[in-house]
Amino acid sequence: MTTVETDPAWLPDEALRGVGTRRVCVRGEGLLVDTVRAEVGRACHKFGGSDDADDAACDLLLKVVAGGDEGPEGFTVTRTARRTTLTAAAPAGLLHGFFHLVRIGEAAFTQGPDETHRPALALRMLDHWDNVDVHPVMGQVERGYAGGSLFWRDGRARGDLSRIRAYARLLASCGINALAVNNVNVHASETRLLTERFTEVAAIAAELRPYGIRTHLSVNFAAPLLLGDLDTADPLDEGVRAWWREAADRVYALVPDFGGFVVKADSEGQPGPFAYGRSHADGANLLAGALARHGGTVHWRAFVYDHRQDWRDRSTDRARAAYDHFAPLDGQFADNVILQVKHGPMDFQVREPVSPVIGALPRTRVAVELQATQEYTGQQRHVCALAPMWSEVLAFRPEGEGGPTVGQLVAGGGLVAVANVGDDPFWTGHPLAQANLYSYGRLAWDPTADADQLLDEWAELTFTPDLTGDPERLRSGLRAVLHGSWATYEKYTAPLGVGFMVQPGHHYGPSVDGYEYSTWGTYHFADRDGIGVDRSRATGTGYAGQYAKPWADTYERVESCPDELLLFFHHVPYGHVLHSGKTVVQHIYDTHFEGVEEVEAAREVWAALADLVSPARHTRVAELYEEQLRCAREWRDQINSYFLRKSGVPDAHGRRIY
Of 464, 435, 429, the C-alpha closest to 3 is: 429
Looking at 477-626, which runs of residues are DSSP E strands?
530-531, 572-573
Indicate if 34 belongs to the active site: no
| CB atoms inside a 10 Å sphere around CB 121 | 24
Of 347, 352, 556, 590, which is the active-site residue?
Answer: 347
In sequence order, what are the residues at sequence separation of 6 or more whose Cβ sits closer than 8 angstroms to the Cβ of residue 506?
none
**Helix axes of 91-104 and 31-47: crossing angle, nearest 10 degrees:** 30
Please give the single-letter amino acid code of residue 231. Answer: D
Of 51, 352, 375, 466, which is the active-site residue?
Answer: 375
Please give the single-letter amino acid code of residue 599. Answer: V
Residues 412, 188: Cα–Cα separation, whole Å: 33
Written in H, E and C, the secondary structure of 141-197 is: ECCCCCCCCCCEECCEECCCCHHHHHHHHHHHHCCCCEEECCCCCCCHHHHHHHCCC
Contact 525, 533 (CB under 8 A): yes
Handedness of CA 436, 32, 106, 123 (dihedral sign): positive
In sequence order, what are the residues at sequence separation of 6 or more whose Cβ sits closer than 8 angstroms to the Cβ of residue 26?
33, 36, 37, 40, 51, 62, 63, 94
The three-state secondary structure class of 397 is coil
Written in H, E and C, the secondary structure of 324-341 is: HHHHHHCCCCCCCEEEEE
| CB atoms inside a 10 Å sphere around CB 199 | 11
The three-state secondary structure class of 64 is strand
Residues 495, 588: Cα–Cα separation, whole Å: 6
Of 55, 196, 231, 268, which is the active-site residue?
Answer: 268
Residues 605, 602: Cα–Cα separation, whole Å: 5
Of 51, 80, 103, the C-alpha closest to 438 is: 103
Indicate if 401 belongs to the active site: no
Residues 298, 420: Cα–Cα separation, whole Å: 23
431 vs 418, 434, 658, CA distance in Å?
A: 18, 6, 34
Question: What counts of helices (H) and strands (E) characterise the chain?
Answer: 20, 19
Contact 443, 394 (CB under 8 A): yes
Contact 631, 382 (CB under 8 A): yes
Indicate if 604 belongs to the active site: no
Strand-strand pairing, 572-573 and 139-141: unpaired
Quick one: DSSP state of residue 583? B
| CB atoms inside a 10 Å sphere around CB 106 | 9
Active site residues: 268, 347, 375
